[in-house]
Amino acid sequence: MDSAWTEGLVNVVDVEATCWAGSPPPGEVSEIIEIGLTVIGLAAGERLARHRILVRPARSTVSEFCTELTGLTQPEVDRGTTFTEACRLLAAEHRAGARPWVSWGDYDRHQFTRQCQATRTPYPFNRRHTNAKAAFTEAYGLRKRPGMAQALRIAGLRLEGRHHRGEDDAWNIAALVLHLSARGSWPAPAEHPA
């Protein structure tokens, strides 16, 4: 086993992307505008670090609806880095290619896959991904998969920060992962095609 796995560190990732109340305007596509990342130590049961990468969209703009949902504005994301540079940072500074990673649902994984293919950017993550929403649903024996805020309520945890802000959502998802791990309900990461 590689050292990243044996060191027990896991990256919890949450992205925010350009979005609209209805269909995207002609010629625009949903693109990642914020990557939130929290590093957790499963063995220690702790959130160890939190990071935020703002990403400048190339083929879309931040709508009023998106700003209301995420708090992110066009001038703010205009100061961000390119998507390709953000992926390079994930790999180089956050060991995304070595550490197992987690997201709430599969949206984040699929969005990275789509955007990497569209921009011909190397996929920054490895294939050991865990869908925390599915793990939580199974651990609690729920019929429907809850949203992150609802899962926090079920687990008796409080929402920290702003919901639909990548950095804060990754921090809260990390709390849920550690909660499941403490209960003995955290699964080994599954292998997914890159």
Which SS3 state, helix, strand or coil, does residue 154 take?
Answer: helix
Where the chain has pLDDT below 50, the residues are 1-6
> What is the identity of the amino acid at 41?
G
Terminal-residue alpha carbon distance, the chain: 19
C-beta neighbour count of 81 within 10 angstroms: 16
Residue 145: both structure tokens together: 């998969």
The pLDDT value given to residue 5: 43
Residue 25: both structure tokens together: 């305007």
Closest CA to 31 of 92, 91, 118, 122: 118
| Contact yes or no for 172/148 (Cβ under 8 A) | yes
Place of tokens 């060991």: 95
Listed in sequence order, the residues at least 6 apart from 179 whose beta carbon sits closer than 8 Å to its beta carbon are: 155, 157
The pLDDT value given to residue 7: 62
Is pTM beyond 0.85? Reply is: yes
Sheet strands side by side (includes 101-103): 46-54, 32-41, 9-17, 101-103, 128-131, 190-191
| Contact yes or no for 171/39 (Cβ under 8 A) | no
The string of pLDDT tens digits covering residues 69-122 is 999 999 999 999 999 999 999 999 999 999 999 999 999 999 999 999 999 999
The pLDDT value given to residue 188: 76
| Contact yes or no for 175/38 (Cβ under 8 A) | no
| Sign of CA pseudo-dihedral 161, 167, 172, 175 | negative
Which SS3 state, helix, strand or coil, does residue 114 take?
Answer: helix
Residue 187: both structure tokens together: 């699964």
